[in-house]
Chain A
Amino acid sequence: MLEIRNLVKVYPGPVAALQGVSLEASRGMLGLLGPNGAGKTTLMRIVAGLLEPTSGAVFLNGEDVTGNPRRIRRQLGYLPQSFGFYPHLTGAAMLRFLLVLKGVEAPRGLKHLAAELLERVNLQDAAKRKVGTYSGGMRQRLGIAQALAGNPRIVVVDEPTAGLDPEERLRFYRLLAEMAEDRLVLLSTHIVEDIAVLCPRVAVLSGGQVLADTAPGDARARLEGTIYEGAVAKEGLAETERRFHVTQAVLIEGRNRVRVHAPDGRPPEGFEPVPPSLEDAYLLLIRNRAPKNGQPAPEAAPHAAS
C-alpha cells in the first residue's frame, strides 16, 4: 500500500510544484495524467526517493519512507522521464550492471536474465552493441528493461512511451499490464491514450494539485449524453469556443471537427451526440479549472473513493 499524504514541494524561486497532493494506491496501475508542469515528475521523483519534499510524506505499507528512501528503493522499479547510459558499455553489459546494483537474482544467472529482458524489449540483436550507438527508442527500451527487472513491488514509470513507435508502445503496454497484475505501477504521462489503454484508475494533476482521482470509465460515464461533435468552419471556430465548452477541435481533412460539452442538451446547430472519451473528460477538467463566462466549471470527474 502506497500512501501519499499532503505532499508539498516548493522549488527556489519560489515555485510550488506540489500543493498538498494526497493519493493512496495498493495494487494495479495508477495513471498520473496532467499537462506539462503539473507536478507529475516531481511527484514521481519524490516517490522514487530522489527528491525531498518540502512537507508531507510518502508511506509504504504504513512506513514513512520520505526520510529513508532506501526502504523504497529496495522495492522499486524506476524509469525516469529523461535518462541515458554509459555509452562505452554494450546494452547487455549496461543492463547486467544495473541488475547487480538492483540486487536482481534469477535462477539462470544474470547474464541469461539480461538476455531475456533484452529480448522482452526487443533489443536482443543490439545486446552487444555499445549503448552510445543506440537510437532514442532503443535507449528507451533499455530503460524499460531495467525498470521491469527484479521483482519490484512498485514500478514508477515517467512518460515511458515517449520515443517508442506504435509497435513498441504496444509491446510495452503488455509488459506493464503484466507487471500491474500483482503490484503497484505508477504511470505518469500526458498521453491520454496510455491511460485509456492501461489504467483502471487515473489521477489528474494540474498546478500541483490533484484535480481528479477516478476510473476512466467513471469519468466517461459522467459525461454521457453531454458531448456533441460537429464540423465548424474556420471562421466560426472562435465563436463556438466563446459560446461553448469545446473539449477538442481537430482538423480532419481540412475541416474542424469540434467536440463540445453541452450538459444542458443544447449543442451548436448541426452537432450530433457522441460517446464521451477519456480525453474529453481530461481536457474539460484541465481547461475549465477556472470559471468561464460566469459559468461554473463542470464536475467532470470527482474524486473517487478508494
Chain B
Amino acid sequence: MTSLARWAAVARRELTAALRRPSYWLLLGILGLTAFGFSQGNVTISSGEATAGGLRSHVTSVAAQSMFQSVLITAMGVWFLAIGAGLVLIRDAELRVGEIIHGTRLTAREYVWGSFAGALAAFLVIWGLHLGLSAGFNHVLATGADTPHIGPFVPGNYLYPALLLGLPQIVFFAGVPLFLGAWTRRAIVVYAFPVAVVVAVLGFLISWSPSWLDPAINRALMLVDPSGFRWLNETFLKVDRGVDFYNTAPLPPDPGFLLSRVGLAGIGLLAVGAAARNTARRLLQGDTDSLVIGFRRGGGERARPAEAPKSQAAVGRTLRELGMRTVPPGFFAAAKAIGRIEVRELLVRPWLYLFVPLIVWQSVSASLFALGPFDAPLLVTSGAMAARQFNTLSLLVCVLLLFYTVESLMKERTQRLAEIYRAAPVGTGAMLLGKTVGNVVVAGVILGAALVASWAIITGRHLLGNPVGFDLWPFAAAWGGVMVPTFVFWTALVTAAFALFRNRYAVYGVGLAIVIYTVYRMTLAGFQVEGAALSWVTNWLAWNSMATWSDMGAFSLYGWALALNRLLYLSLVPLLLALAAMWFGRQEFDATRILHRLRPRALLRSGLRLLPFAVPPVFLASLLFFGGRAGDQGPDAEEAGKDYWRRNVATWTDFRMPSVSHVELDVELDPPARTASVSGAYTFVNHRDHAYPELPITARPSAPIAWTLDGEPHEPDDRAGLFVFTPERPLAPGDSLTVGYRYDLQHPRGLSARVGGRGEFILDSGVVLTGFSPTFVPVPGYLPGIGVDADNRYDRREYPDDFFEGETEPLFGWGGTPLTTKIRITVPEEYTANSVGRLVSDEVRDGRRTVVWESDHPVRLFNIIAGRYAVKEGRGTAIYYHPQHDYNVEEMSAALDAAREHYSEWFYPFPWELLKLSEFPAYAGLAQGFPTNITFSEGIGFLTKSDPRSHAAFTVVAHEAAHMWWGNILTPGRGPGGNILSEGMAHYATILLHQEVHGDRHRIEFTKRIEDSYGDARFVNSERPLVQTDGSRRGDGTVTYDKGGWVMWMLQQEMGRENLLAGLRAFIGAYQSGSDFPVIQDMLAVLREFAPDPEAFDAFTAQWFFDVVVPEYRLSGVTKERDGRGWVVRGTLENAGTGRATVEVAATANERWSDAGDAGSRTVVSPSYRDTRTSVVLDAGGSAEFELAADFDPDRVLVDPDVLVLQLRREAAVFDFPE
C-alpha cells in the first residue's frame, strides 16, 4: 500500500465517521433553515427599498452570498469545524487505538494529514449541501412575482464567495484546532478556539469601526479578519453604493486581501503540519495515547511513570485493624464531595484561565462603548455595565458551560474511572447535582472576574475624576438574581441531554442549535421583526431582559414576569436532573429491557414518578403563558387593535376633526399599583365651514368609560374602540360642544408577555403619559396606526406635488387652532408631577400631593410625567432628575438656559413661563419635547458621557429644547418634508447653539458627526429629496435629522446667518397659531423673501431640497515646493459624488485648536496654526487643479476646513505631506 493509499484510507475513515455524527446533520439542518430564511428576503444587504415593489438587493448576488457565507462560517461553522477536526486525535487517544494504528506502516504525517482531510471533507460536504439548498430555495422555491429579492441563477455567485471567503477560513478553522488537539490532547483547549474566534471576529473585528479609526489600522484589521467580512463591509457595504451595484458587481479582491486569504489557509495548513510533527515526536517517545500531557514546561518536565520504592512496612498488618465501616453518604454530602472535586479539577486546568480573560474582555469592552441617541457615548455606571454585559456574558458562559458540562460528564469515561465511580453507593442524582454545581462554579468564576474587571474600571475612572462610583447592587440583581439561574438551568439541561444521547457530538449539536436559535430569534426581535421575540415562557436566557435596565427602578416594568421566568427555569432543574438520573445509564441498559420500558404502562409509571418534579414548572409556565395572554401584550389586546382597524379604516381614515379648544383633565395616580383614575373633558369648536353630524373619538383603556356630552351622560356608538358621538344636532361651524369621560386605568395592564420597553407607563419608578396615546386619554379622531402589523400593512401614501396647498393637517397633535389646558394630577406625596404650562397650585393632604398645571400660552399637545425627583433650577428653566443622576445636570441646565435664551432670540420669543426637563426610567429610550415639559429617558443626557470636548449632554438638550420652537410653537404639517421642520430644524438649532456657546471647534465636530451618521445610514436607492421625505423609507431617519439639519446649515452660508434667521422668524410668525400647518415648501416660500440672491437661493433649494445630491471630494497629485521664502501647494480636486458646490481647499500647518478655551469657554484657534485657502466650484464628476501659496511649510491639505459643505467620506479628502 502506498503512502497516498494509506493517507486516503485514513481520510476516508474520518470522512465516514464524521458524516455519521448527528452534529453535522444538525448543522446542515440549521444551515438549511437559515438558507430558507435568507430566501425569504428577510436578511439581505441594506440597500434598495424595503417596501413592496421597490428596488431590492438580491439575496442571490455575489455581494449577498459573500456576506452570508463569510459570517455564517465564522458564527456557526467554526464550532463544528473545531469540534470535528480538533477532536480527531483526542478521540483516537481516548479510544486507545494509537498502539494499533501506529504499529502499522502508517506514518504520523499520513495519519494527521489524512485525518485532517477527512474532517475537512466532511465539512465541505455539508457546506456544499448548504449551498445547494440555498440555490434550491432561492431559484426553485422562492420564485414568482413576490420575490424581488431573487436575482438570476448564476452558479458563480455561490462559488466565488465560497472560494474567496469560505474556503480559507474553513481550512484555518479546521487546521488550528487540529493542532491544538494534537499538541495538548485536551478537548477543552480545542473548544477555546471557536470561543476566541467568535469573540474576536464577531465581537471586535467586524463590528468595531469608529469613524476616527486610522485607515492603515482599519486596513490591517481587514486583512487579519478570518471571516473576510470586514474587508467586504469596509470596501463595499458600509457606504451604500446602490442596489444595482450590489446586484451585479463582481466584488473583485485587491491583491493584499487575496494574499491575506491565501495566508489564512496557509496558517491552517501549517498548523496541520505542526500537528503531524508533534504526533511524530510523540511516537518517537513511545507516547501514542496519552491524554494527560498538558503543556510541557522546559521541553519535557513531564514526570515519567516511576515505580514507588518497595517497602515491607505494611506486611503483616491487617485491614481489620483500620476499623473501617461503610455508611452510604447522604445526597448532599455526596453532591458536595463531587462538586468539590469537579471544582478542584477545573481550577487546576490552565484552560479556564484562557477562557476567562477572553470572555471578560469581550463582555467588559463591549459594555464600555455603548452609544445613545445622536451617537453620544453613554456613561459607564454600575447599572449600565451590569445590564450591557448581560447578554454577552449569558451567551458566552452558556457556550462554555455546554463544553465544560459535557466534558465533565465524559471525564470518568475518558479517564476510565467510570466503572469504579458508578459502582460507588452514591445516588445518580447526587452525582449529577455535584457535577452541575461544579460546572456552575465555572460560571461563577467568570462572573466574578467580570465583576472585578467592572469594579476596577468604574473605580479607576472614578479616581481619575469620572463622576460615577461603583455600586454592587446592579451586579447582584442582574447577574446573581437573573443570570445565575440561566446557568443552573442550562447545565442541568445539558446534563439531561447528555444522559439521553450519551454522545458528546449529539449534545454539542443540540446545545449549539438551541443557543443559535434563541439568539437568532431575539436578534430578529431587536430589529423589530414582528413575532420574533421569545415569550417569557420560552426565553430561557432572559435575553434582553436587562436592555431596559433603569437605576430608577430596575425591575418595575416586568419584574413579576421576569421573576416567574427565572423561577420557571430554576424549577426545571430538579426535573431535568431527575430525567438525567433516569437516563444517565450508570447501569448499562439491556436492549431487550429498553423495549419493555417503552410499554405504555412502564412509561406511565415513569411519568408518575416524575410528576412531582413536573408540577412546579408546569404551574409556573401556565402562569406566565396565560398571564401574558391576558395582559396588554397578549393576543386579545392585539386582536382588539385589529378589530379597531378593521371596523374603521374604510370609514374614518380621512375624517378631519374640529378643533379642541380646551382640555380639562384630572388624573389620580397610584404608581405602585400601576393605576390611575382619569376624568376630563374636551371642548370641541368647529373651525371648519361644514357641520359635523358625528364626532369619532378613539379611547382604549381596559375599563369601561362613562361618557358625557355637554354634561349629560351619553352612550356613543362603540366601534371597537372608536367611539362615535352623534349630537342631537350637528355641530355647526363656529359652535362648540364638550365631551366628558371618566374611567379607571391600569398601564401596563396584566403580566408582561415578553421583553421590551414601553412608551408610556404608570410605575413605582416613574410615570410617563402622553396625549398621543388613547390608552391614557381619549384622542379625537381615528388613529391609522392602531392594529396594523405585517398582515395588514399597506404601502406608503403617495402625495401629489401640491399636497400642501390649502389647509394641511398637523404632523402631530390635534388639528385646528392651539388649545388651552388645565391638568390636575394627584400623586403620592413624595412624587413630583409635571405637565404642560405653569404650576398654579401644589397641595399635600393625607400623604397625597395634588398639583394643577395650566397652559399659560396655548399648546397643541400635553403630557404628564411624575417621579421622585431632585430639581435643578436655571434661568426660567428647571431640570427634574433622579437624585443619583446628577452627573450632567449642570451642563444640561446650562444648555437649557442657553437654548431658551438664544432660540428665543433667533426664532421666536419663548411664550411660556417655565421650560422643564424631566427624567424617566429607561423603559423607553426616547426624549419628547412637549410644550414646556420635555421628558428624557435616563439614558439620554442624564447618563450621557459628556466631557468638555464632546458636550454630548449639551447636544441632546439643545436638540430637544429646540422642539419648543420647531414642533410646538411651529407645528409642522403632515406630509413629506413635514418632520424635517421638526427634527432637521432641531439639529440646525443645535449646530447654531454649539457655535454660539462653544465656538467653531465644537460646531465643526457636531456637524462632522451628523455628516458621518448620514453617510453611514443613508440608502442610496430609497433616498428622496427633502421635500419628499416622509419617514416611510429606509434611511429617512438620517435624511430627516442629519441631512435636514445640514442643509439648513448650508442654507445659512447661502443666505447669510441674519437673513436666514429673520426669514425663520417670519415663517414661525406666519404659521404659529393658525390651523394650516406648514411643510418645507411653505418655509422656502417665506425664506425666499429674505434671500439676498433669489436666483442663487433657487439654485440651492433646487439641488438640496428638491433633488438628492451629495458631493464626494478627492484630492490627487498634491505637491508642495518652495517658492522663494514661501511654499506653493498644487493639486487636483475632484468631485466623485453628485451636486454642484463651492468648496474651500486649505493648506495648513500645526494643530488648529488650542486646548485652552477663551473666557466664555469657547474654543479658540491655536497660535501656531496657519492656513491658506482657495475656493473651487465643482459640478458632479468635475475636477479642477488648485494652487495655494503659503508663507509657512504646510503639513496637510484638506477640503472644506470649516465643514460648510455636506459630503461623503470627508476623511478621504485629506492629504498629509510625509514628514
Footprint of B on A, CB under 8 Å?
9-10, 12, 45, 48-55, 69-70, 73-76, 78-80, 82-89, 97-98, 100-107, 113, 116-117, 119-126, 129-130, 132-138, 143, 146, 148-152, 167, 171, 174-175, 178-179
Stretch at the interface among B6-14, B590-598, B787-795, B1011-1019: B590-598
Option from B303, B307, B421, B590 in Cβ contact (under 8 Å) with A9:
B590
16 inter-chain pairs at a CB distance below 8 angstroms, sorted by A residue, are A50-B422, A50-B586, A54-B590, A70-B427, A83-B416, A100-B329, A101-B338, A103-B425, A105-B326, A106-B322, A120-B317, A120-B319, A124-B314, A125-B309, A137-B307, A174-B315
Residues of A within 8 A of B338 (CB): 101
Check if A105 sits within 8 Å of B325, measured CB to CB.
yes
C-alpha spacing A182/B344, complex, angstroms: 38
C-alpha spacing A82/B333, complex, angstroms: 28
Check if A50 sits within 8 Å of B325, measured CB to CB.
no
Check if A50 sits within 8 Å of B587, measured CB to CB.
yes
C-alpha spacing A175/B589, complex, angstroms: 34
Q: Across the interface, name the chain B residue whose C-beta is closest to A107.
A: B323
The 4 tightest CB contacts between A and B, nearest first, are A84-B416, A80-B419, A150-B326, A101-B424
Beyond A107-B323, A179-B319: 9 further Cβ-contacts under 8 Å?
A45-B419, A50-B422, A50-B587, A69-B587, A70-B427, A98-B424, A116-B322, A135-B307, A138-B308
Residues of B within 8 A of A48 (CB): 419, 423
Q: Across the interface, name the chain A residue whose C-beta is closest to B321.
A: A116
Check if B326 sits within 8 Å of A103, measured CB to CB.
yes
Residues of B within 8 A of A76 (CB): 423, 425
C-alpha spacing A10/B589, complex, angstroms: 11
Q: Across the interface, name the chain B residue whose C-beta is closest to A156.
A: B423
Residues of B within 8 A of A82 (CB): 416, 419
Option from A85, A100, A107 in Cβ contact (under 8 Å) with B417:
A85
Option from B318, B324, B337, B424 in Cβ contact (under 8 Å) with A105:
B324
Check if A152 sits within 8 Å of B326, measured CB to CB.
yes
Q: Across the interface, name the chain B residue whose C-beta is closest to A179.
A: B319
C-alpha spacing A148/B319, complex, angstroms: 8
Residues of A within 8 A of B419 (CB): 45, 48, 50, 78, 80, 82-83
Most chain A beta-carbon neighbours within 10 Å: one of B323, B324, B345, B427: B324
Q: Among residues 403 to 430 in chain B, which have CB atoms less than 8 Å away from a CB atom of chain A?
A: 411, 415-417, 419-427
C-alpha spacing A87/B412, complex, angstroms: 11
Check if A117 sits within 8 Å of B322, measured CB to CB.
yes
B1206 contacts partner chain A, Cβ-Cβ < 8 Å: no
Residues of A within 8 A of B322 (CB): 106, 113, 116-117
B320 contacts partner chain A, Cβ-Cβ < 8 Å: yes
Check if B292 sits within 8 Å of A132, measured CB to CB.
yes
In the complex with contacts A54-B590, A84-B416, A101-B424, A138-B307 CB distance below 8 A: yes
- Chain A nearest Cβ from B323, distance in angstroms: 5
B interface residues, how many (CB within 8 angstroms): 56
Option from B292, B318, B423, B590 in Cβ contact (under 8 Å) with A78:
B423
Check if A149 sits within 8 Å of B324, measured CB to CB.
yes
| Chain B 329-353: CB-based contact to A (< 8 A → 1; otherwise 0) | 1000110011001001100110000
| Chain B 869-905: CB-based contact to A (< 8 A → 1; otherwise 0) | 0000000000000000000000000000000000000
B311 contacts partner chain A, Cβ-Cβ < 8 Å: yes
In the complex with contacts A78-B420, A171-B315, A179-B319, A84-B415 CB distance below 8 A: yes
Q: Across the interface, name the chain A residue whose C-beta is closest to B325.
A: A151
Residues of A within 8 A of B593 (CB): 52, 54
In the complex with contacts A54-B590, A104-B326, A133-B305, A88-B424 CB distance below 8 A: no
B703 contacts partner chain A, Cβ-Cβ < 8 Å: no
Check if A86 sits within 8 Å of B306, measured CB to CB.
no
**Do most interface residues of chain A lie in helix, strand or loop, or is the interface mixed?**
mixed
C-alpha spacing A78/B425, complex, angstroms: 11
Check if A70 sits within 8 Å of B425, measured CB to CB.
yes
Check if B420 sits within 8 Å of A178, measured CB to CB.
no
C-alpha spacing A263/B419, complex, angstroms: 45
Check if A100 sits within 8 Å of B337, measured CB to CB.
yes
Check if A73 sits within 8 Å of B307, measured CB to CB.
no
- Chain A nearest Cβ from B208, distance in angstroms: 38
- Chain A nearest Cβ from B1150, distance in angstroms: 62
Residues of A within 8 A of B588 (CB): 45, 50-52
| Chain B 568-605: CB-based contact to A (< 8 A → 1; otherwise 0) | 00000000000000000011111111000000000000
Residues of B within 8 A of A50 (CB): 419, 422-423, 586-588
In the complex with contacts A100-B334, A103-B326, A105-B326, A88-B425 CB distance below 8 A: no
- Chain A nearest Cβ from B612, distance in angstroms: 20
C-alpha spacing A216/B909, complex, angstroms: 118
C-alpha spacing A100/B421, complex, angstroms: 11
Option from A102, A122, A174 in Cβ contact (under 8 Å) with B424:
A102
Check if A86 sits within 8 Å of B587, measured CB to CB.
no
C-alpha spacing A143/B320, complex, angstroms: 19
Check if B420 sits within 8 Å of A73, measured CB to CB.
no
Check if B328 sits within 8 Å of A74, measured CB to CB.
yes
C-alpha spacing A134/B304, complex, angstroms: 8
Check if A135 sits within 8 Å of B417, measured CB to CB.
no
Q: Across the interface, name the chain B residue whose C-beta is closest to A149.
A: B324
Check if A178 sits within 8 Å of B320, measured CB to CB.
yes
Check if B425 sits within 8 Å of A74, measured CB to CB.
yes
B310 contacts partner chain A, Cβ-Cβ < 8 Å: yes
C-alpha spacing A45/B586, complex, angstroms: 12
B464 contacts partner chain A, Cβ-Cβ < 8 Å: no
B284 contacts partner chain A, Cβ-Cβ < 8 Å: no
B4 contacts partner chain A, Cβ-Cβ < 8 Å: no
B327 contacts partner chain A, Cβ-Cβ < 8 Å: yes
Check if A101 sits within 8 Å of B592, measured CB to CB.
no
Option from B305, B309, B324, B416 in Cβ contact (under 8 Å) with A134:
B305
B145 contacts partner chain A, Cβ-Cβ < 8 Å: no
B217 contacts partner chain A, Cβ-Cβ < 8 Å: no
C-alpha spacing A82/B411, complex, angstroms: 15
Check if A87 sits within 8 Å of B292, measured CB to CB.
yes
Option from A52, A102, A138 in Cβ contact (under 8 Å) with B590:
A52
In the complex with contacts A70-B425, A106-B323, A122-B314 CB distance below 8 A: yes
Q: Among residues 1010 to 1038 in chain B, which have CB atoms less than 8 Å away from a CB atom of chain A?
A: none
Q: Across the interface, name the chain A residue whose C-beta is closest to B594.
A: A52
| Chain B 43-73: CB-based contact to A (< 8 A → 1; otherwise 0) | 0000000000000000000000000000000
C-alpha spacing A291/B1102, complex, angstroms: 113
Q: Across the interface, name the chain B residue whose C-beta is closest to A153.
A: B326
Residues of B within 8 A of A133 (CB): 303-306
